Structure 1
Amino acid sequence: MIKALTRAFVSNRKGTIATFTALVMPVVIGGFGLGAEASYWYFTERKLQNSADVAAYAAAAQLRISREQSDLDSVALAAAVSTGYRTSIGTLTTSWPATSGSYAGDTNAVEITVREDVPRLFTALFSSGDVPISSRAVATLKRSFPTCILALDKSASGAVTFTGSSSATLESCNVHSNSTANDAVTVIGSGVVSTPCISAVGEVSYTSGLTMDTCVAPIEYADAVDDPFAGVPDPSTSDPCEPTNTFAGPPGTAYTIDAGRYCGGLSIKRNVTMNPGVYVVDGGSFTIESSGEVFGAGITLYLTNGATVSIAGTADVDISAPTTGDYAGVLFFVDRSEPNATHIFNGASGSRLDGAIYAASGHVVVAGTSTVGGGCTQIVANTVEITGDAGLGSDCAARGYSDIMNEQLVQLVE
Structure 2
Amino acid sequence: MKKQAMLHRIRCFPESRRRRSGQVLLIGTVAGTMLFGMVGLGLDVGYVYYQKRKVQSAADAAAIAAILEMSRSPAGNYVQAGRDDAKLNGFENGVGGVTTDLTTPPAGGPHAGNPQYVEAVVTKDVKTYFLGLLNLSAMRVTAKAEARLGPGTSCVYLMDPSQEDQFRVAGTFSATCGLMANSNSSKALDLNSGSATASGFYTNGRYVGSFNPTPLINQPRVPDPLAYLQPPTFPAANYYGVNVTDSTPLNPGVYHGGIPVAAGVRANFNPGIYVLNGGGLVTSGGPTSFLSGIGVSFYFTARQPVPSPPTGFNTSIVNTPGRFLLNGEGGFDLRAPTTGEMAGILFFQDRNPANQAGPFDVQGTNTTRIEGVVYIPGSDFLYQNQTGNTAEYTIIVSKSLRLDGSSPNLVIRNDYSSLANGSPLRAVPVLTR
Q: Tell me which interval the TM-score lies in, with the shorter structure as reference length.
A: 0.5 to 0.7
1:110 deviates by: 5.4
The two structures have a TM-score, normalised by structure 1, of 0.65
1:161-310 aligned at under 5 Å gives the runs 161-162=168-169, 164=170, 166-170=171-175, 172-188=176-192, 190-200=193-203, 202-208=204-210, 210-212=211-213, 217-235=214-232, 241-243=238-240, 245-248=242-245, 253-269=246-262, 270-290=265-285, 291-305=288-302, 306-310=321-325
* Number of positions where the alignment pairs a residue of Structure 1 with one of Structure 2: 324
Shift in CA distance, 299/84, structure 1 to aligned 2, threshold 3 Å? same
State the Cα RMSD in Å.
Answer: 4.3
Q: Which residue is 1:390 aligned to? A: 410
Q: Aligned residue for 1:159?
A: 166
CA distance in 1: counterparts of 2:174 and 2:61, whole angstroms: 33
Identity of aligned residues (%): 20
TM-score (norm 2): 0.62
For residues 82-101 of structure 1, what are the structure 2 equivalents within 5 Å?
82-85=93-96
CA distance in 2, matches of 1:111, 1:84: 12
Q: Distance in 1 between matches of 2:181 and 2:432?
A: 15
How much does 1:346 deviate? 2.4
Q: Secondary structure at the match of 1:247?
A: coil
Return the match for 1:314 from 299, 314, 329: 329
Q: 1: CA distance between counterparts of 2:220 and 2:432?
A: 8
The CA deviation at 1:403 is 5.1
Whole-Å Cα distance in 2 between the matches of residues 257 and 54 of structure 1? 51
Q: Residue by residue, what CA displacement relative to the aligned partner does 1:61-84 show, whole Å, maximum 9, x if unpaired?
A: 59968xxxxx99xx89x9877352
Q: Distance in 2 between matches of 1:62 and 1:275?
A: 44
What is the rounded CA distance, in whole Å, between the counterparts of 1:366 and 1:239 in structure 2?
33
Q: State the Cα distance separating 1:247 from its structure 2 match.
A: 1.2
Contact map agreement 2:370 2:390 (CA 8 A) in 1: no
Distance 1:131 1:295, change over 3 A: closer
Partner of 1:408: 430
CA distance in 1, matches of 2:230, 2:280: 22
User: Closer, same or farther in 2 for the Cα pair 1:344/1:130, shift >3 Å?
Assistant: same
Structure 1 partner of 2:384: 367
Secondary structure of the structure 2 residue equivalent to 1:157: coil
Structure 1 residues 257 and 61, CA, compared in 2 at 3 Å: closer, same or farther? closer
- Provide structure 2 residue ranges, at least 5 long, that are not aligned to the other structure: 1-43, 71-77, 102-106, 110-118, 303-320
What is the alpha-carbon distance in structure 2 between the residues aligned to residue 160 and residue 60 of structure 1? 25
CA contact under 8 A between 2:360 and 2:382: conserved in structure 1?
Answer: yes
1:398 match: secondary structure: coil
Distance 1:267 1:112, change over 3 A: same
Q: Where does structure 1 differ by over 6 angstroms across 4 or more consecutive aligned residues? A: 78-81
Residue type at the aligned position of 2:205: E
